[in-house]
Amino acid sequence: MKQRMKQFRKLLLPLLIATLLFQTQALAADYSCTISIPVEVQVTGDSAPDDVDFTVTMTPVDEANPMPDASSVTITGSGTATLGPITYTKPGDYLYTVTQKEGSEAYFTYDTTSYTVTVRVINDGEGGLTAEIWAIEEGGVDKVDEILFENSYDPPAPAPKPTPKPTPVKHTTAKVTSASPKTGDEMNLVVLGCLLGISLLGLIALTVVFCWNRKRS
Q: Which of 58, 67, 69, 117 lies closest to 93 in space, CA to CA?
A: 117
Each residue of 64-110: pLDDT tens digit? 999 999 999 999 999 999 999 999 999 999 999 999 999 999 999 99
pLDDT tens for 132-155 read 999 999 999 999 999 999 999 999
In the beta sheet, which residues pair with residue 57? 72, 99
**Segments in 31-156 forming alpha helices (H):** none
Is 153:107 a contact under the CB 8 Å cutoff? yes
- Give the pLDDT of residue 30: 67
Please give the C-alpha separations between residue 12 and each of 8, 16, 27, in angstroms, as whole numbers.
6, 6, 23
- Sequence-distant (6+) residues with CB within 8 A of 197 are none
User: How many CA atoms does the CB half-sphere of 64 hold within 13 Å?
Assistant: 4
Tell me phi and psi for residue 59, to 5 degrees.
Answer: -130, 130
Sequence spans of domains, the chain: 30-153
Burial 33-70 (b: 16+ CB within 10 A, else e): bebebebebbbeeeebeeebebebbbeeeeeebbbbee
Say if residue 19's pLDDT is above 60: no
Q: Distance of alpha carbon 192 from its chain centroid, rounded?
A: 94
CATH, domain 30-153, list 1.20.140.10, 3.40.50.970, 2.60.40.3050, 3.40.50.2300: 2.60.40.3050
